[in-house]
Amino acid sequence: MDVRSTNDVTEAVARLEHEPLLNIVLLKHIEAFRDHVSVAQVSAGRKAATLVLLDTSASAYDRKTYPEAAFAALISSHDPELTRRLIEAVPRQRPVVFKLASDADRNVVAEHFSISRTTSFLSFTFGERPDFVADESVSITTSASDAMLDLFESQGHSRQWLCPRLSSGLAFTCVLERDREPRSVCLAFQNHRQIWEVGGVVTPAQHRGQGLASRVVRTSLSELQRRGLVPRYQANERNLPSIRLATSIGLRRFLQLTHFRSW
């Protein structure tokens, strides 16, 4: 097997973009943390394996969830033999959290590291015939009130992160409100190029059980559809209401990313 290796980020991204949805987590991390990631990629013909190694000190989520971890290692691979060639690039002396989308990659990592499963995230996108209609009562905007920002922060989307994206057009919000009180909100923001994530879905406890979250999410999907963008809706495996929402409105699952710790 004639194998080619590269550490060039631009070259690695170009190959990952051949399958942008399947590789969206790697692409998102490269784009969001360009100064804090290193990339290794090996390829043989049309097959490739890519490692994105993130310094977890740059990621608010990883700092909070995995404070022991020095690095997060994300792997996407067509072939276990190619994956094995990447493992040497993962540091052994410090704790690592692996984020893997396939059992084959997990098995290769387990040959070299003692790992244990922590959690998993499911990603959804449009089904075969997307046909979402905006709710006339839901406002689509590139701004957010303090009350909305409080709700988004409760989902891990800080003001410091969100506000610049709203002002630059790389995000928008959907809100269903009454008397200036947000009853349900969500936001959509760019992950990588044409792929935008729908997240920050929050309905205050006193307004739940009325289908409000479905209305704001449907509206955000309608707006993405109008713009010709591809949605990514993500839910933790334990968040059953969020998963039910995704499936009930016709989204299809395309990816499951499972986390494993090495300590």
What is the DSSP-derived secondary structure letter of residue 1?
-
For position 1, what pLDDT does the model report? 63
Among residues 76, 129, 122, which one has the least CA distance to residue 253?
122
Q: For 33-52, what is the mean pLDDT?
A: 97
Whole-angstrom Cα distance, residue 123 to residue 232? 6
φ/ψ region of 38 (left if φ > 0, alpha if ψ in -120 to 50, else beta) reads beta
Residue pointed to by tokens 């052994």: 92
Q: 84 and 15, same structural domain?
A: yes
Q: Check whether 16 has a pLDDT greater than 90.
A: yes
Q: Check whether 154 has a pLDDT greater than 70.
A: yes
Is position 123 within any domain? Answer: no
Q: Check whether 202 has a pLDDT greater than 80.
A: yes
CB crowding 207-233: b at 16 or more within 10 Å, else e? beeeebbbbbbbbbbbbbbeeebbbbb
For position 2, what pLDDT does the model report? 82
Q: What is the pLDDT of residues 210-253, one digit of tens each?
A: 999 999 999 999 999 999 999 999 999 999 999 999 999 999 99
Among residues 126, 101, 102, which one has the least CA distance to residue 247?
126
Residues 6 or more apart whose CB falls under 8 angstroms from that of 233 comprise 123, 124, 125, 197, 198, 199, 217, 246, 251
Q: Which region among 2-6, 196-200, 231-235 has the lowest average model confidence (pLDDT)? A: 2-6
H or E segment and range at residue 177:
strand 171-178
Share of the chain above pLDDT 70, in %: 100
Of 79, 96, 113, the one marking the end of a domain is: 113
Question: What is the total count of domains within the chain?
Answer: 2
Q: What is the pLDDT of residues 102-141, one digit of tens each?
A: 999 999 999 999 999 999 999 999 998 899 999 999 999 9
Is position 261 within any domain? Answer: no
What band does 22 get if pLDDT is binned at 50, 70 and 90?
A: very high
Is position 122 within any domain? Answer: no
Q: For 6-15, what is the mean pLDDT?
A: 97
- The residue range of the domain holding 95 is 4-113
Q: What is the pLDDT of residues 45-86, one digit of tens each?
A: 999 999 999 999 999 999 999 999 999 999 999 999 999 999
**Cβ(50)–Cβ(76) below 8 Å:** yes
For residue 216, the domain's CATH number is 3.40.630.30
Share of the chain above pLDDT 90, in %: 98
Q: 206 and 154, same structural domain?
A: yes
